[in-house]
Chains A and B, each alone.
Chain A
Amino acid sequence: MMKTRTILLAAAALAGLATTAARAEDATLTVWDWKSGDPVTAPYYEKVKADFEAAHPGVTVNYVMQPHDQYYTLLGTAIAASRGPDLVLVHGGSQAKERVGAFVKLDEAIADIRNDVVGWGEFADAAGAVYAVPLSIQGFMVYYNKDLYTKAGLDPEKAPATWAELEANCAAIKEKAGVACFALGNKEGFGADFFLSALAANGWTDAQQADWAAGTLHWSDAPVKAVVAEWLETWKTGWYSEGANSTLKFMDEYESFMRGENAHTIGLISDVAHWKQFDEFLGADKVGAFPMPAPTPAAEGPVRMPFAGGIGYAVTRFSPHQDLAIALAKSFAAPAAMQIFFESAGAIPASTKVDTSGLSSPSAKVVLALLGCCGASIAHNNMSTAEVEEWHRQSQLLFTGETTVDGAVTRLDEVQAAAKKK
């Protein structure tokens, strides 16, 4: 009897072990993103999948590309249901920070790559704990059309270094080239976000940026109010293309710039609306780049570019394969894969091990030079989503004349205070 029982117990234990082993081998990691189906980034995703599956026999990486404009709605549903992806791609800043409760803390797991990758701060909570592995660096540069500079009688190789120079260039472009100085799409409010961060990079001190992130620098405080006032002033001066409130930033604004209908645009340094895309349309020698100067610089020295961790992979708390998912998140930031991401998509990688020496684009060289010396925070990444949404609304109402700078900052102060209360 005893012998039979022992045999049965052993069989049960073996069956359990076999089941566990089978589960480990059969694991499928579901990855949500909005990029894996893009032909430009496809080689990078294929490389990560191939390398990871080869290193982890039996594991399948399943990419699920979601529509970008519905991404956070879908992600919210998955998080609420505690079901779905093991890994999710998220934007750095408020979109990541407001969801850290749903993600696995990664500090210990990423200790070995922490010094090889930059941009962690955009995926960290208030205490500094990290919740995603950054893939790319995001930043905001002003790109300009050198042909239109020539047409306006300006030196195409001399980018404006001060606000006064930019104002003078805009006046010349409007008068002599007959086009708007800046392409602008603010239908979704993104145009206002980019403008805010571009001006804050040089109009605010580092201490003010820190206060902004902490919610102690308010919209009605002088440095912030000055940016809001400048947003309205540049509109009144006629810097922008008509119909900004009904023009999409992605991609109507950029397509307009690439068609040569406007002289400047505030673009990105990641894998879209960036130097590579503009080079392909206008010709690399026809595109210039410079960081946006501020009307009143907060400090002396070179003009700074706002940049930070752009997008990164977080592991969901409800993932049944958390260890594997963390390993896959790190694989996305592996130098060999990142090199492909950089070369095929032109995205500035978060990994410092990627070789960027082969770049020949003049505007890309300006971007890389600034990365090494002159960075500032991305101000709109440090706003709550409620503040971001209200800034979108107020930025449009300033253009339609339905609010004033005072009215806008008062309303934004209220939203900021309410968000901080939570």
Chain B
Amino acid sequence: MEYSTEQDWEIVIGLEIHTQLATQSKIFSGASTQYGAEPNTQACAVDLGLPGVLPVLNEEAVSMAIKFGLAIDAEIAPYSVFARKNYFYPDLPKGYQISQMDLPIVGKGHLDIDVDGVTKRVGITRAHLEEDAGKSLHEDFHGLTGIDLNRAGTPLLEIVSEPDMRSAKEAVAYMRKIHELVRYLGISDGNMQEGSFRCDANVSVRPKGQQEFGTRTEIKNINSFRFIEKAINFEVERHIEIIEGGGRIVQETRLYDADKDQTRSMRSKEEANDYRYFPDPDLLPVLIDSELLASIKANLPELPTAKKQRFKDQYLLDDESATILTSSRDLADYFETVVAKSGAEAKLCANWVTGEVIAALNKNGIEITEAPISPDRLGGLLLRINDNTISGKIAKQVFETMWQEPGGADEIIASKGLQQITDTGAIEAIIDQIIADNPDQVAQYRSGKDKVFSFFVGQAMKQTQGKASPAEVNKMLKAKLQ
């Protein structure tokens, strides 16, 4: 039912992404930002908001924000200001959050996303630095709320997009692209389960062709790509249903309930806080000169788009392989190490990494950095395919062994006797025997049934336990069956 009407509506989405910056210490104190410590063991006097203490800006957080700004072609503000955002909440120790309002560090930029083979440019309004709040723990205490301030003061970069996305799919693609980018830049671990990367979505709909935006609702604090898509789709349907039923959308903040797959109202615009932003008098304006910018620019890592193009040019990879291999910096680095180590054709390495390696990672639910086969070891294996020591098929057996056990490819090949039979005399004898044993098939082949050829190859590989070089077997069979 929705689909018949959705065609008449245009969906408008803007995202606010909060990404935790991977600094060693907090944005305004020296306390550690390590995740998972005992509650309140990583909160110093500044994080606790004790009387008289003062914030001191962590320069590393500034550098990271600049890196992000440069990566999205944004203007980096030469002069930006921290402001206090005032509201009361038990996990907000000072009664205000130090954030940026009028003068954010990163100005207008943009990012290109690919959806269904079409490239689209999404505008980024701004990105600003702020401190995270602590956590309120309601579950663990009967009738009480526990406050853990370990997270209080963790640096966040809030990245605000323009309302440029027109489908949940585009929103997911944008969120993924930002996620990939911050990890590439090494400014965030992007760990969504730990809350290092989370998103608020502003959603509205309008009749196709209408210029002004519809009334929007904001879905708060979504920390998965799957949920953002579901939450937006739910919200879009809700909006259309209300409007088509003659109702009006109420501007409000909503929460997505993943269990019920629906959003529910959190607070209306009228209940919204007046945050009473004003410049924080405890902190000086952040001044960024061209020298600092130049030095950060010079040390920027290769970005995903550039890397993908380079992979296509340098390794002659197709678009799909290049896309997969550059989807994370770790995977790209893995691939390049394999190529260097094996000396094999890049295409072969790409097939192995995008095929066997990724399949094994997915099966085990682990990341490339946790792969039990290091790129050096895999390179050692592919080296042996390349020099014809083993066939691709045998290599897969060796790969499985390597995944389970330590040891280099050469050791495993040697200990299991998996070397290819390079003695052509031995292969010839086996092939002669096969031809002698199967006169019917020989006759069929000779009468023009080419398909039967694979039967002979299969027999030869079977009798050599796969150790014969397939190329050699092919060549010899072709000659003998003439």
- Asked if A and B are interacting partners, one says no
Binding site for A on B (CB under 8 A): none
* A interface residues (Cβ-Cβ under 8 A, vs B): none
